[in-house]
Homo-oligomer: A and B are copies of this chain.
């Protein structure tokens, strides 16, 4: 493949959700590539925004604190941007059931407003949208490829479906250059570990560093996990490869693991780490999707992307990060 993310050097890049987990890691990489980076983030305390996430690069990026639901801010933030990484989202499945309207405002309505604003103010920008495997619902077959039926099992999955469909539609009808990446469980340094709003792994990592046992619910369920550096690479490739325009891709993990295997790898990665097994909570069963893992061969074939970081290595790096920085994340 000939795509080279070095092409982002000197380019104007907007990251919406840029102080969050994936956004801040992406920002660090883009700064290294020599891009001019603007980070927009709501700093909503329920989401991933954290000023400490850009501690090492704060002098080399611009920051604008604003909510993606604020339509008046958009023209000012979009003008002149060549690449837009659209990562802002409400990610908690449980929160989407308890407060479905907020999830809709952020994951659907605001996405439509952003695309309308792009039509007017950033018509030539490349837009990469972070979607989720949640839109597939309970897998009808494994691994799940992009042709799998879309049948979300929670409000979050429905609103993310609308959000990504708008992106593809605005590409087809108005010629915006959009790519959708459907992410699976993403983990790594700078993830939210206060609670389970960015996967259960965040809470597990926190417990390990705090010297407490983490809770494994059930244990049989299979998942794949993307280390954040691999996701950042996928975002960059999707941005610079024109062959990704108007396409929707799964991003997948390095390996498939049961929750018990996941827990054992984490236990082995840190001295004193331990866990307890609990029954799967009843109130979560209704929106649980069972086993899930991605078929990411379409993205691999198109861009050469594949996950590089094993779960064992990714966990070690993540725990080492939080051992140093815990106070900024709890």
Contact = CB atoms under 8 A, between A and B. Distances in A.
Interface string A98-140: 0011001000110011001000000000000000000000000
Given A112-B101, A116-B100, A150-B150, A165 B161 contact: yes
Given A152-B169, A169-B155, A109 B104 contact: yes
Among A155, A165, A173, chain B packs the most CB atoms within 10 A around the CB of A165
A242 interface: no
B97 A101 contact: no
A173 B286 contact: yes
A239 to B, nearest CB: 23
A159 interface: yes
A112 to B, nearest CB: 6
A229 interface: no
A162 interface: yes
Interface of A, secondary structure class, is: helix
Given A162-B161, A169-B152, A104 B100 contact: no
Contact of A172 (B104, B149, B153, B165): B153
B149 A169 contact: no
A147 interface: yes
B104 A112 contact: yes
A152 B166 CA distance: 9
A132 to B, nearest CB: 15
Contact of A147 (B149, B158, B162, B287): B149
Interface string A241-270: 000000000000000000000000000000
Contacts of A41: none
A172 B112 contact: no
Given A162-B162, A166-B155, A169-B158, A108 B104 contact: yes
B97 A173 contact: yes
Contacts of A287: 173
A230 interface: no
Contact of A162 (B97, B108, B149): B108
Contacts of A172: 153, 286
A224 interface: no
Interface string A71-103: 000000000000000000000000001001100
Among A104, A150, A161, A162, chain B packs the most CB atoms within 10 A around the CB of A162
A104 B116 CA distance: 13
Interface in A191-212: none
A151 B116 CA distance: 20
Interface of A: 97, 100-101, 104, 108-109, 112-113, 116, 147, 149-155, 158-159, 161-162, 165-166, 169, 172-173, 286-287
26 contacts: A100-B112, A101-B109, A104-B109, A104-B112, A109-B109, A112-B155, A147-B149, A149-B149, A149-B150, A150-B150, A151-B165, A152-B169, A153-B169, A153-B172, A153-B173, A154-B173, A155-B166, A155-B169, A158-B162, A158-B165, A158-B166, A158-B169, A159-B162, A161-B162, A161-B165, A162-B162
